[in-house]
């Protein structure tokens, strides 16, 4: 990230737009495991992760709250080297329309949110919510990100392509 110019433009992607997209929101008591996967087609800097509560939560008798982790995969489709960026917990009596989020620290000493082209961001339910018989509540994971410049130094898997633009040869990485 050093020496790169980041844009002030931020992008948002919800679970329905992920590679493994969710047609509907997830229930609090959903089974643990990976739920959404977003593939970076361009290097990106994840700045925020979270969930949108779509149905007011009610654990009836709260036993465990739902916990969603957001990880980055450094290699497409592989959990080797997978790094957790952060977690959010979904408590009891959270109203529909509430956004629960975590800002991802980035900067000179922290590359936690850096995802190279071909890398992936994964939302994973690490703790399923449990409660009484009348547990209720749904949520939808999301990420916020901004593009980073694609340079050979920050993406060894980039492939240079020679193209002709207005009779001028250009090399793109």
Q: Is residue 33 part of a domain?
A: yes
Structure confidence at residue 1 as a pLDDT band (50, 70, 90): very low
Q: Is residue 3 part of a domain?
A: no
DSSP state of 74: S
Q: Is residue 107 part of a domain?
A: yes
* pLDDT for residue 159: 61
pLDDT single digits (tens) 16-57: 565 665 667 888 888 999 998 988 888 888 989 999 999 999
pLDDT of 3 above 50: no
* pLDDT for residue 43: 86
Q: Is residue 6 part of a domain?
A: no
Mean pLDDT of the residues in the chain? 80
Q: Is residue 51 part of a domain?
A: yes
Task: Note whether 67 and 84 are within 8 A (CB).
Answer: no
Q: Is residue 106 part of a domain?
A: yes
Residues 6 or more apart in contact with residue 9 via CB below 8 angstroms:
146, 147
Structure confidence at residue 74 as a pLDDT band (50, 70, 90): confident
Task: Note whether 45 and 144 are within 8 A (CB).
Answer: no
Q: Is residue 85 part of a domain?
A: yes
Q: Is residue 140 part of a domain?
A: yes
Can you give the residue range of the structural domain that contains 46?
Answer: 11-172
Q: Which CATH number does the domain housing residue 142 bear?
A: 2.60.120
Give the chain's domain count. Answer: 1
């Amino acid at each position: 990230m050093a020496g790169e110019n980041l844009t002030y433009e931020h992008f948002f992607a919800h679970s329905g737009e992920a590679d493994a997209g969710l047609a509907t929101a997830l229930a609090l008591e959903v089974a643990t495991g990976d739920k959404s996967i977003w593939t970076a087609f361009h290097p990106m800097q994840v700045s925020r992760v979270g969930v949108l509560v779509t149905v007011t939560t009610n654990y009836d008798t709260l036993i465990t709250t739902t916990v969603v982790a957001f990880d980055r995969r450094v290699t497409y489709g592989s959990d080797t080297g997978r790094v957790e960026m952060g977690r959010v917990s979904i408590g009891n009596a959270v109203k529909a329309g509430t956004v629960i989020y975590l800002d991802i620290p980035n900067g000179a000493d922290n590359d936690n949110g850096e995802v190279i082209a071909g890398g992936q961001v994964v939302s994973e339910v690490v703790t399923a919510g449990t409660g009484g018989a009348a547990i209720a509540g749904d949520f939808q994971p999301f990420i916020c990100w901004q593009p980073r410049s694609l340079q050979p130094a920050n993406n060894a898997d980039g492939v240079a392509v020679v193209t002709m633009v207005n009779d001028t040869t250009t090399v793109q990485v």
